Amino acid sequence: MRAQQNIVLIGMPGVGKSTVGVLLAKATSRSFADTDVQIQVGEGRRLQALIDTAGVAAFRALEERYVLRLALRGYVIATGGSVVYSERAMAHLSAAGVVVYLELAFPLLMQRITDLDSRGIVIEQGQSMQGLFQERRPLYRKYAALTIDCASKRADQVVYEIVAALERL
């Protein structure tokens, strides 16, 4: 893997994209970017407030605009879990690097998510988290060049596994 290529982390909320991303950036001598943080800073509001006021569709469009404006090289990028709804955003991210799906079984994800109402999860009104998981998992798998099973692993172990897998590409 070339140093100027990005490593893009995708997956459900709670899987550890940001935590793993920071550690992976250190391990691979890359800078780190979190698209959720970029949206919050750019819009001056927390994700949940943006979703609550604008709605799911408008937030997805906003997220797509932010991702399409990224012109990063040699970064580890942690994305929002809903980025996979945008083919254009995923094509943009894939063109500049390797997309890594951090996978975790639904029951384990739910153990990790303690702030469901304020976390900024892009979920349709009336949709369950189980339904969201089932809807997104095929999309994550579709766009991923690598899939890393995160079950029973600490963040540093996930980083080691990603680095080893990238060396084999």
Per residue in 135-167, pLDDT tens?
Answer: 999 999 999 999 999 999 999 999 999 999 999
- Cα three-residue angle 143-152-85, rounded to 5 degrees: 20
State yes or no: pLDDT of 116 exceeds 90: no
pLDDT digits (tens, 9 = 90+) for 2-54: 778 999 999 999 999 999 999 999 999 999 999 999 999 999 999 999 999 99
Report the mean per-residue pLDDT for the chain: 95
- Spell out the domain ranges in the chain: 6-168
- Residue found under tokens 């080893």: 164
pLDDT at 67: 98
Tokens of 147: 């899939």
pLDDT at 130: 96
HEC sequence for the chain: CCCCCEEEEECCCCCCHHHHHHHHHHHHCCEEEEHHHHHHHHHCCCHHHHHHHHCHHHHHHHHHHHHHHCCCCCEEEECCHHHHHCHHHHHHHHHCEEEEEEECCHHHHHHHCCCCCCCCCCCCCCCCHHHHHHHHHHHHHHHCCEEEECCCCCHHHHHHHHHHHHHHC
pLDDT at 74: 96
Contact of 33 with 76, CB cutoff 8 Å = yes
As assigned by CATH, the class of the 6-168 domain is alpha beta
pLDDT digits (tens, 9 = 90+) for 49-77: 999 999 999 999 999 999 999 999 999 99
pLDDT at 1: 74
What is the residue type of 108?
L
